[in-house]
Structure 1
Amino acid sequence: MTPRPTQRRFLFLQGPHGPFFARLSRLLTDAGARVWRVGFNRGDEVFWSDRASYIAQTDPIETWPETVAQLLDAKAITDLVLYGDTRPIHATAIAAARARGLTVHVFEEGYLRPYWVTYERGGANGHSRVMTTDVAAMRHALTGLDLDLPDAPARWGDMRHHVFYGALYHWFVMVGNARYAAFRPHRALSVRQEFRLYLRRLAMMPWHWMDRVRATLRVKTGGFPFHLALLQLEHDASFRDHGPFDSMTDFLEVLITGFANGAPTHHHLVFKAHPLEDGRAPIRADIRRIARHHGVAHRVHYVRGGKLAPLLNDARSAVTVNSTAAQQALWRGLPLKAFGQAVYLKPEFVSDQPLSDFFQMPQRPDSRAYRDYRHYLLETSQVTGSFYSARGRRQLLRQVVDMMLSAEDPYDALEAGRPAPRQHLNLVK
């Protein structure tokens, strides 16, 4: 049995940019639990308001395995809480927690983005329990349940809030990190470079909007059939840790080659950039170069971030490494080709055709199977709300605190016929 709230002792590591983890900790404290937070830089510290429960990790990162083991034991921790499970400091802590039989709570961006977040125990994305659960088992778990499934919203979520908190976080790290001299970011770029990219993106938003509108109109008014490539951030954990490519350039080469060899000559290929693409990888230039090399430059297009719906509604198929945006393609019944590990990689609705054959005649997914799969996610790991806007956080916290305090993993609760109450979906406009 899981201990009562008054016996629970939570250790928080790094969370999404902004105040979500701090607000979550307050509610857990109100429920009677004890909470601590390990911070690795000034950004972590600023967004954690309770100084008494804050633990600054200022020692060299090489000491982290020993440090986290000592913390788990000294504080008698029962629960570990973190955002994303693949960054090295988190993977190390998860291993130590598992060795002690602790509960690991993992938050991630929503599998059914934009207006859901992911909450799982043990692991997310390629480490999620959904990876090893087939559609038949999902249908069995859903026996007797009925849910009026909401449409997949067109918006990615709180984009401006996300970018703002990202820039603010990196600003604090850049100007106030003297206490954390041993800090090393988990990404290849320095904190200063990350901050400049966030700042540049904020400044360029109006120009990017105009560029996106022009590119979308060219595709929408072109009158040609097109296939949609759903791009990801090259530094994102899903692409980096759960995909087969070393770089985005490698993926672009494979994709454009398959298109040139297989697609009918009147078909076009549209690359849809991730909403947070910041130019650190030369994606647009690489697309142009590779398309020219294969003689298809006049049939290849690039569209910056923004809404997916205007393009998905007219696309013939979608291709990705393992983007969560593929869920919106499947919801519309579009044929889908994926290369990496993903929670939606089920044979019922993801094509196993060679890429050139897929572009020539893509196989449609089993929409009934996908609907059951989506229902399963909405009853388990997908929680209404957002990390980044005040309204989204309120919706998320109303539900996820009780899920964390529950004795049962959301998947186990559903299989036992005790799914968590579902909050009415109230989309932010």
Structure 2
Amino acid sequence: MLKRSYLFLQGVSSPFFPALADRLVAQGHAVFKVNFNGGDAAYWGRRPAASFRGDLEALEGFLSDIYRRHGITDQILFGDRRPVHRPAVNRAATCGVRTHVFEEGYFRPHWITLEREGVNGHSLLPRDPDWFRAAAEYLPPQREVQSFPGPFWLRAAHDVCYHGAGLLNPVLYPAYQTHGPVTAPVEYWGFVTHMLRVRARRQQDAALIEDLVRQRCPYYVLPLQLNSDAQIRDHSRFTDMREVMDHVLASFARHAPSASRLVVKNHPLDTGLSRHDKVLKALARQYDLLDRVDYLESGNLEYLLDHARGLVTVNSTVGGVGLGLACPTLALSDPIYNLPGLTYQGALDDFWTQAEPPEPALFAAYRDVVMYATQINGGFYSPQGIALAVQGAAQVLGAQTSPLEFLMGSARSL
């Protein structure tokens, strides 16, 4: 195996990056890290690292020096759209350094994403359905999926510890600015109140879904995403969920069948700071849709989609869930699954009456190819999930050719 030198940048708020670094060292590779805040430093511990305390304008020069002094061949990061990562991705491309990007799984649970150079809107996955059909012919036998517990409290505990260490940022990292839209305490308070609302509405939401299914009411689903998500901020034309709801309700009012309903479901990790329920009610009143729009804080999403007339999303991973359930789907942005034969390629105004289910064979090829090329069985937060993720990621990181590069070379030979 070729020995490499890995530079770690920011990861998730968990021990995942340190555990992965230890595995790479055990395999004979070198590791180094840049810490940007107190949470980075606390989780990384005594492993080799340098602290970046300057303004973002100085980051590319700082990284160039790190690349040169430590012979960096690869850099590893979580999320390619964080402010501290955009300069790093750009600089690595000019210095011959490979970039490996982790992200939450395109398919969940029990999967995380690992791609070279970019994820989501910057993924190197082709946007040609015929390529997926061809590449599927070269896939090795599918891996057996190992499940593991993923309690939310553990994820929350890591987040609190990470941001708790960040209380020293004004002294140790005075120039650091979080990639989040609000501070951690504000986010925690909003999330707690949101969870209380979810708990209070759980039975009501379940009853609403059951009524829709039992009465065979034609309905469409709009799953909300997080306002802070890079998928919204950087990979769509919308600035927040209010704009999304306004756009969809305006079209629904004008063009959807009069007997149909629109079900808007909130994101399970929403902080509750924007109060989407109140915004939706105001918009429904504006478009005279109060008796045709429903709002859910909770509920069985797969059951909901399995009986839906269609799914409208910006670029959520829920789109992949809907496609797997043969639910007609329209993406208001350009996620990796926005392919002819999978998603509706026409206008939103026409989707309400002309949508068709995805092609089953194409979705099967797409799913199998994406799983092989970009997904690692494992998780970022629980010990069991981290152990699985480290094992799979270390194999991919150490290979000269990525799974996607292998498939792209193989499919070209057809």
**If the length of structure 1 is used for normalisation, what is the TM-score?**
0.89
How many residue pairs align between the two structures? 407
**Residue 11 of structure 2 aligns with which residue?**
15
Q: Contact 1:386 / 1:392 at 8 angstroms: preserved in 2? A: yes
Does the alignment pair 1:316 with 2:306?
A: no
**Residue 21 of structure 2 aligns with which residue?**
25
Q: Contact 1:276 / 1:305 at 8 angstroms: preserved in 2? A: no
Structure 2 unaligned residues grouped into runs of 5+: none
Q: Contact 1:333 / 1:367 at 8 angstroms: preserved in 2? A: yes
CA RMSD, aligned part only? 2.4
Does the alignment pair 1:69 with 2:67?
A: no
Aligned pairs for 1:274-423 (under 5 A) are 274-305=267-298, 307-415=300-408
2:340 match: secondary structure: coil
**If the length of structure 2 is used for normalisation, what is the TM-score?**
0.92
- The aligned amino acid for 1:274 is H
Shift of 1:348: 1.1
Does the alignment pair 1:138 with 2:132?
A: yes
Shift of 1:149: 8.9
Q: Contact 2:206 / 2:299 at 8 angstroms: preserved in 1? A: no
Deviations 1:160-198 (A, max 9, x none): 333332233223213565211111112332x3xx33322
Cα distance in structure 1, aligned partners of 2:241 and 2:194: 23
**Residue 110 of structure 1 aligns with which residue?**
105
The counterpart of 2:165, out of the listed 164, 172, 178, is 172
Q: Contact 2:101 / 2:115 at 8 angstroms: preserved in 1? A: yes
Q: Contact 2:129 / 2:340 at 8 angstroms: preserved in 1? A: no
Deviations 1:380-419 (A, max 9, x none): 101111111111111111211011000101112234569x
**Residue 50 of structure 2 aligns with which residue?**
55
Q: Contact 2:111 / 2:376 at 8 angstroms: preserved in 1? A: yes
Cα distance change on mapping 1:348 and 1:150 into 2, 3 Å? farther
Cα distance change on mapping 1:118 and 1:305 into 2, 3 Å? farther
Q: Contact 2:194 / 2:271 at 8 angstroms: preserved in 1? A: no
Cα distance change on mapping 1:144 and 1:408 into 2, 3 Å? closer
Does the alignment pair 1:37 with 2:30?
A: no
Cα distance in structure 2, aligned partners of 1:342 and 1:68: 30
Q: Contact 2:33 / 2:49 at 8 angstroms: preserved in 1? A: yes
Shift of 1:123: 0.7
**Residue 217 of structure 1 aligns with which residue?**
207
**Residue 80 of structure 2 aligns with which residue?**
85
Between 1:156-165 and 1:386-395, the stretch displaced more is 156-165
2:234 match: secondary structure: helix
Q: Contact 1:227 / 1:316 at 8 angstroms: preserved in 2? A: yes
Shift of 1:298: 1.9
Cα distance in structure 1, aligned partners of 2:187 and 2:376: 30
Q: Contact 1:113 / 1:157 at 8 angstroms: preserved in 2? A: no
Shift of 1:321: 0.5
Shift of 1:306: 5.7
Cα distance in structure 1, aligned partners of 2:403 and 2:138: 17
Cα distance change on mapping 1:98 and 1:122 into 2, 3 Å? same
Cα distance in structure 2, aligned partners of 1:160 and 1:214: 24
Shift of 1:54: 2.1
Does the alignment pair 1:120 with 2:115?
A: yes
Cα distance in structure 2, aligned partners of 1:53 and 1:387: 22
- The aligned amino acid for 2:134 is H
Cα distance in structure 1, aligned partners of 2:142 and 2:72: 39
Between 1:356-365 and 1:265-274, the stretch displaced more is 356-365
Q: Contact 1:379 / 1:414 at 8 angstroms: preserved in 2? A: no
Q: Contact 1:163 / 1:198 at 8 angstroms: preserved in 2? A: no
Shift of 1:52: 4.2
Between 1:290-299 and 1:329-338, the stretch displaced more is 290-299
Cα distance in structure 2, aligned partners of 1:74 and 1:126: 32
**Does 1 or 2 have the higher relative contact order (CA < 8 Å, sep 6+)?**
2
Shift of 1:310: 2.7
Deviations 1:49-83 (A, max 9, x none): 2x241211122333212211211112111111000
Does the alignment pair 1:101 with 2:91?
A: no
Q: Contact 2:263 / 2:296 at 8 angstroms: preserved in 1? A: yes
**Residue 4 of structure 1 aligns with which residue?**
2
Deviations 1:174-223 (A, max 9, x none): 3565211111112332x3xx333225424653542331331232132242
Cα distance in structure 2, aligned partners of 1:212 and 1:361: 33
Cα distance change on mapping 1:149 and 1:179 into 2, 3 Å? closer
Between 1:270-279 and 1:176-185, the stretch displaced more is 176-185
Q: Contact 2:120 / 2:336 at 8 angstroms: preserved in 1? A: yes
Cα distance in structure 2, aligned partners of 1:84 and 1:48: 18
Q: Contact 2:219 / 2:308 at 8 angstroms: preserved in 1? A: yes
Cα distance in structure 1, aligned partners of 2:377 and 2:340: 27
Deviations 1:308-361 (A, max 9, x none): 223122222111100011100000000001111211010111102322321234
Shift of 1:307: 4.2
Identical counterparts, % of pairs: 30
Cα distance in structure 1, aligned partners of 2:134 and 2:151: 35
- The aligned amino acid for 1:311 is L
